[in-house]
Every structure is written in structure tokens, then in C-alpha cells.
Amino acid sequence: MPGFEVFGKEERAEVNDVLESGVLMRYGFEGMRNGHWKAKEFEEAFAKKMKVSHCQLVSSGTSALTVALAAAGVGAGDEVIMPTFTFVASFESIMAIGAVPVLVDIDDTLTLDPAAVEKAITAKTKCVMPVHMCGSMADLKALKHICDAHDLLLLEDACQAIGGSFDGKPLGSYGDLGCFSFDFVKTITCGEGGAVITNNEVFKTHADQYQDHGHDHIGKDRGAETHPHLGYNFRISELNAAVGVAQLRKLDDILALQKKHYRLLRDALASIEGVNFRRVPESGEENYSFLNIFLPSEEKAKKAHKALSEAGIDGCFYWYTNNWHYINGWEHLKEAKSLGALSEPIRTKLAQLSTRQFPKSDHWMGRNLSFLVKVGWSHEEVKRRAHIMKETLQTLL
């Protein structure tokens, strides 16, 4: 998935445009910037690519989630439903604005289980945040149905699934708001960066203001701007945006290569008894950044993870025991290890979490192996990997 594999002269040229003028900020300094507006250029190109009317570029994927929630009016005490398998940014962004994370089970899509979402809805629920983990999506149709019925926001975390689609729509554009990350290991990178996309005019204006201290961005004198709302600083720099401008032009080629490599790996494993693939919801297309399989048991998955690593297969993840992505590794969340005091509603929810079991999530995560698909591999390399993966799994199963 990583855009860092294709960093080259195109990125350097875009960054040099910025270095030559020395205007490292995305706003103002019109006379000095030689006509370069990298953040703006990225936003226009990305909105077009994602088939939405608006894109707001920000400093990271985590800030994109925070800005999206804030822009949609989610705040203190509101509950946001999120999955047990995700990245820590999900609960970080929710708690950053004083809202309460409500964790629910995933299913064989490795994303939110719609039935679990429905069960978790209370009078305080404001938003459902599916996370399209490892290149494939949640059942957006079912989730949208639930959100419409309960008047809830649907906010897609598409940080790991840029370029995938559902029902003919780019992932991130199906819900009310969609978020992306351009950190260094994502499909395309800005070094650090993120984006919020939406077709909602009000959310667009709020996101634009919130990520820059509440500035209204009207007129050309920054000092004279008014502040319709409170905000924060989640701005991206022109240097980071410039990297993204070049990377975005490479997205289609990256996706095509990923798909080709994914296909070769998947075809090699397809006939092995005991290997099952992650379910992709009907009418969904992955972005092919990861190949995800299920093995018959937790014990087999652990053994396979070890055997594959010993056979030289890097980029094979067993998320079940990995600190980053599954609730098993989030002691700091479950024990509410906050540097400062947390609000009462958040403390109460986290206290419940410390004893709560998620057997359904454990069932799927315990048996899952996730293979990173790289774009830098040669055809021969992919074929060799496919062969080793097949032999190793066949021996074990």
C-alpha cells in the first residue's frame, strides 16, 4: 500500500516549487508565492477524484477525523459508534472533542457488524464511524439504512482504503463525511497529512473554519477575518501538500499494480483447503492494499504467522496480538490512562470497556492473517512470494 515506494523526482519537483518561493503556508502571501497553491491544488484534484464537491486537506488522518466530527456538530457527551478493529485514531479523535467512543463487534468483513451497531444505539448516539480496514469496506448500505432510520451521521474512515468503491461510489464519499490519511505508510503520502471529503455545504464550511482557528477565510487580509466559531489548528503545510500533489497523480498506477499483485497472491491461495478470504460486501471493490485470509482456528493462525515469517514472508500481520489495531492491545484505553482528567461520561464508558468481552470480534481476528501488498515488487518476486505462501500454508493445514 505505501506511496513511499514511489517517491521520486515528481514529488521533489513539487516540493521545490514551494522551496523556491519560500511560502510554506497555505494561506496568504499572494505576491510572494509565484502562483503556487499546493494545498488548494490537491483539494481540487482530490474532490474531483472522489466525485464529491468538497475536500479539506489537514495535517493528518487523525486530525481529519477530529475535524469531520467537529464540523458535523458532534461534541461533549455525544456517543460515536466505532469498531473493535481499527487504528487508535478512531477513539483518539472522538475523545479529542469530548465525545464518547462506543466500541462494537466486527464481522467477517473485518469491519463494523451492522447488527452490533444497531444494538449499541442509545438516545445519545450521534454518529456511526465505520473503518474500512486493510483496503476493504464495511457494509455501507446496511449502515446507511440504520443511520437514516435513527437520524445519525455516517462518517467513513477510509484512511486505509483510498481508491476502493461501494455501489459505484469511491469509498469515503458514500457517507455524510469521509476521512483519509496521507501519513508515510498509506497508499499515497504527504509525509504527514489527511483529508475530509463531503458533499454537505455546511460541513464543508465548518471544516474549513475549524481546521484554521475558526477563520472565515473571507477576503485577503487574514488579520481582518472574523471567527464565526471556535476552532483549532489542524492546517497542513504547503511542503506536505506539494508531496501529495505529485502522489495523487500516481494513485491510479499504484492501485493497478496493487490489484495485479493481490490477484497473483490470492489465486495461489484460493485452492487451499482451510483458507478462506475476508468477505467483501456486495457491490464493493477493494483497493487491494492487503490480502486478508481466515484460517480454521486461532492456533493455526498463530502457527502460520510464525511459519510464514520464518519462510521470509515479511509484511504478514497477525493483528489479534498486535498493539496497534485491535482492542486486545489497548490497555491504555481500557484503563483510561489519560494525562489529565477525563469527563464523567467518557470515564464511565471506558470503565465498562475494561471488563467487556467481544467474542465475535475475537473469533474473526484470532483467525485472521493480513498480507501487505507492495507495489515495488517485481513480477518474479510476487510469484516467488505466492509460491512460498502457498507451500507454507499447505504444509500447515
Ligand X SMILES: *Cc1c(COP(=O)(O)O)cnc(C)c1O
List active site positions.
186
| Candidate ranges 19-27, 55-63, 248-256, 327-335; the one touching ligand X (CB under 6 A) | 55-63
- Residue pair 158/173 in contact (Cβ under 8 Å)? The answer is no
- Residue pair 302/394 in contact (Cβ under 8 Å)? The answer is no
Grid coordinates representing 47 are 474532490
β-bridge pairing 125-128 and 79-83: parallel
Measure the CA–CA gap between 177 and 179, rounded to whole angstroms: 7
In this complex, which beta carbon is closest to ligand X, that of residue 175 or of residue 194?
A: 194
One of 50, 57, 58, 61 touching ligand X (CB under 6 A):
61
In this complex, which beta carbon is closest to ligand X, that of residue 87 or of residue 358?
A: 87
Nearest C-alpha neighbor of 1 from the set 111, 93, 173, 136:
136
User: How near is the Cβ of 221 to ligand X at its closest, in Å?
Assistant: 32
Measure the CA–CA gap between 297 and 291, rounded to whole angstroms: 18
β-bridge pairing 169-170 and 290-294: unpaired
Of residues 171-200, those binding ligand X (CB under 6 A)? 181, 183, 194
One of 94, 121, 131, 245 touching ligand X (CB under 6 A):
131
User: How near is the Cβ of 180 to ligand X at its closest, in Å?
Assistant: 8
Residue 28, H or E segment:
none
User: How near is the Cβ of 61 to ligand X at its closest, in Å?
Assistant: 2
- Looking at residue 319, its amino acid is W
| Candidate ranges 8-16, 33-41, 69-77, 83-91; the one touching ligand X (CB under 6 A) | 83-91
Q: Does 286 bind ligand X (CB under 6 A)?
A: no
In this complex, which beta carbon is closest to ligand X, that of residue 161 or of residue 246?
A: 161
3-state secondary structure of 204: helix
In this complex, which beta carbon is closest to ligand X, that of residue 102 or of residue 236?
A: 236
One of 60, 125, 237, 392 touching ligand X (CB under 6 A):
60
User: How near is the Cβ of 194 to ligand X at its closest, in Å?
Assistant: 5
A 10 A CB-CB count for 311 gives 15
Site string for ligand X, 141-170 (x = CB under 6 A): ----------------x-xx----------
In this complex, which beta carbon is closest to ligand X, that of residue 161 or of residue 280?
A: 161
Distances (CA, A) of 359 to 87, 106, 293, 294, 363: 19, 10, 19, 16, 6
| Candidate ranges 57-65, 73-81, 137-145, 347-355; the one touching ligand X (CB under 6 A) | 57-65
Grid coordinates representing 134 are 486493510
Distances (CA, A) of 3 to 109, 172, 290: 25, 19, 14
User: How near is the Cβ of 236 to ligand X at its closest, in Å?
Assistant: 11
Size of the site for ligand X (CB under 6 A): 13
Measure the CA–CA gap between 12 and 48, rounded to whole angstroms: 24
One of 2, 18, 57, 62 touching ligand X (CB under 6 A):
62
In this complex, which beta carbon is closest to ligand X, that of residue 140 or of residue 382?
A: 140
In this complex, which beta carbon is closest to ligand X, that of residue 165 or of residue 187?
A: 187
| Candidate ranges 29-37, 85-93, 196-204, 222-230; the one touching ligand X (CB under 6 A) | 85-93
Measure the CA–CA gap between 295 and 262, rounded to whole angstroms: 18
DSSP characters for 357-380? --HHHHHHHHTEEEEEPPSS--HH
CA dihedral 202, 203, 205, 207 (to 10 degrees): 160
Residues at the contact surface with ligand X, assessed by CB under 6 A = 60-62, 86-87, 89, 131, 157, 159-160, 181, 183, 194
